[in-house]
Amino acid sequence: MQMHAPAIVATPSAAAELDRLGDQIAELSAHLDAATARLLDLIREFDARGGWNSGFRSCAAWLSWRVGLDLGAARERVRVARALGTLPLLAQALARGELSYAKVRALTRVATPETEARLLAVGRAGTAAHVERIVRGWRRVDRHAEARETARQHAGRALHVYQDEDGMVVVRGRLEPEVGALLLRALDAARETLYQRTRGAEAGSRPADPSAEPPTTAQQRADALALVAETALHHELDPGTPGERYQVVVHVDAAALADPEQPGQSVLEDGVHVSAETSRRLACEASRVVMRHEPDGRVVEIGARTRTIPPALRRALQHRDLGCRFPGCGVRVGQGHHIRHWAQGGPTTLRNLALLCRRHHRAVHEEGYQVDRQPDGALRFRRPDGRLLPEVPAPGAVPADPVQALRARHAAQGLRLHARTACPGWLGEPLDVGWAIGVLHPLALATSPAVAVPAEHRGG
């Protein structure tokens, strides 16, 4: 027995009302897409000017904290915003409400300044599903074209590591794409963006306000690589070798550790100087050995090595905090931070500890950010200038009638949006992806039949 959905018979007046309702939905969607274009412009400018570098590891992390976006959606907004900075035709089509954000998001995965005009035509002519299929076929041709470069790239792989005259370690290399992807995945898993202060003679030239000089992309990558190396050794990359072989040892005088303003040494084992505040950060959760020296420097007594934070307390800290407690972060891998440093008499207790990721542990020690625990147990963070950094930011102001405000803004900009603004030119004919890619893609004509778009991608 076959079941059929009941037929709904609408009166002419009801049908007209539904048509008007559908037109309102389509018109408002066009307004939202035009507003999204403006939002992406603002995100791109904010990202380029480093506005997110006020303790946050990326523009996406700031968006997640400030706007309440899921982190994945925030990353996608930033990606699309950056891409549209070099794709003016797609950006203008979105700003006029002619293309939906969904179509533009898909097209920016493959569009270049040379191909955006023909891809814009695809977006105008087809549905969102058509655009997705074209983009998948386009990327397939790109992958086959790139495969011809594999042998050359493999032969060109190299990694050079050496120490410069000033003690800095220089890393330079070229990795195959899949190895590079593995490295990028490891950096993404660490979910850290840290920047490293210059040392030695350049240290005195740093501005007092760290937020005034955001880290460059190169600095962020360098610090993220340091975290990957640290994590690999923490998980016993070479289990057969004693852990002591891989330890980084810092020698610091007790007076300098208790008060960074006091004179005293703070050096790595090979004699390279680090700041006393860096030593305080490392001492928050390191093993420590107390040594007594004669005035001439001779060691007269060496105490037993002890853990600053015992393993049981470390597990309790991880269980309580679950991740970095810095507002908007939440990175799962963290370091135990003494709110009042143990060198100043702070107890190593759960109440005096907070879990901070590597990036934000540095921010609290060396960049002027402050943290204290309130009587009710809540943590309070402040920026270097003393302003409060709330766990959840205050919501933005919203007009009483946001839809009308949006329409008024677009009218003032000369936009005339209506129910047909974003309608595709598709007339219902089947989509032949293989033919479309052959016509549109610059490399398609050079692609051999063996790597042509397969038949299953063709048809309606």
- DSSP E strands: which ranges in 281-352? 287-288, 291-293, 299-302, 306-307, 335-338
Highest mean pLDDT among 25-34, 197-206, 392-401: 25-34
According to the model, what pLDDT value does residue 403 have?
A: 76
According to the model, what pLDDT value does residue 101 have?
A: 93
What is the pLDDT averaged over residues 321-336? 85
Which tens digits make up the pLDDT trace of 146-195?
555 555 666 777 888 877 777 788 888 887 655 666 676 666 555 444 43
pLDDT at 96 > cutoff 50: yes
pLDDT at 241 > cutoff 60: no
pLDDT at 88 > cutoff 70: yes
What is the pLDDT averaged over residues 195-218? 47
CB-count exposure of residue 52 (10 Å: 0-12, 13-18, 19+): buried
Q: What is the mean pLDDT of the chain?
A: 75
Q: How confident is the model at residue 120 (pLDDT cuts 50, 70, 90)?
A: very high
Which tens digits make up the pLDDT trace of 356-388?
988 888 888 888 888 999 888 889 999 888 888
According to the model, what pLDDT value does residue 412 have?
A: 86
Note if the pTM is more than 0.75: no
Burial state string for 360-375 with b = 16 or more CB within 10 A and e = fewer than 16: bbbbbbbbbbebeeee
According to the model, what pLDDT value does residue 457 have?
A: 44
Which tens digits make up the pLDDT trace of 271-318?
666 666 776 777 777 666 666 666 656 655 565 566 678 888 888 888
pLDDT at 350 > cutoff 80: yes
Which tens digits make up the pLDDT trace of 9-43?
567 788 888 888 888 888 888 888 888 999 999 99
- The better pLDDT of the pair 105, 348 is held by 105
Q: How confident is the model at residue 84 (pLDDT cuts 50, 70, 90)?
A: very high
According to the model, what pLDDT value does residue 36 have?
A: 92
Other beta carbons within 10 Å of 97: 25
Instruction: Report the percent of the chain where pLDDT is more than 70.
Output: 64
Cα 111 to Cα 96: distance, rounded to the nearest angstrom? 19
> Any bridge partners for residue 306, and if so which?
288
Q: Of 355, 274, 360, 344, which Cα lies nearest the Cα of 319?
A: 355
Q: Hey, what's the torsion of the CAs at 327, 333, 336, 337, to 10 degrees?
A: -30
